[in-house]
Amino acid sequence: MEEKILFLKNAISTYLPPAHYQSLNYLVSHLYRVSQQSSQNLMSAYNLSTVFCPTLMRTPNISLKSFQLTTWQQEIQVLELIIQYHSKLFK
């Protein structure tokens, strides 16, 4: 798991412009706080990533439906990791 977190941290800090990095940091910090209240609002990190993934990680239109579903699932998992480990990714 540490390898995935390190890879994500490097990718985010290397490829995002500073303004985008700060915006993502702010948004993910908020999503993390929302997920901490999941016992009351039912919005776990997984549920939040399912809702926000189509906006934050847009997949190009692909005609292969099975490939697109797999891609969406992977993007949801990545965003879930970003939400869960935001404090390590945005140090």
Cα torsion 22, 83, 70, 65: sign: negative
φ/ψ region of 43 (left if φ > 0, alpha if ψ in -120 to 50, else beta) reads beta
Report the predicted TM-score, pTM, of the whole model to 2 decimal places. Answer: 0.85
What phi, psi does 64 have (nearest 5°)? -85, 100
Whether 15 has a pLDDT exceeding 90, the answer reads yes
Distance CA 72, CA 82 (A): 15
The pLDDT of 12-36, averaged and rounded, is: 97
The pLDDT of 59-75, averaged and rounded, is: 70
The pLDDT of 6-19, averaged and rounded, is: 95
- pLDDT-wise least confident of 7-21, 32-46, 56-70, 73-87: 56-70
Whether 90 has a pLDDT exceeding 90, the answer reads yes
Residue 3, CB-side half-sphere exposure with 13 Å CA sphere: 0
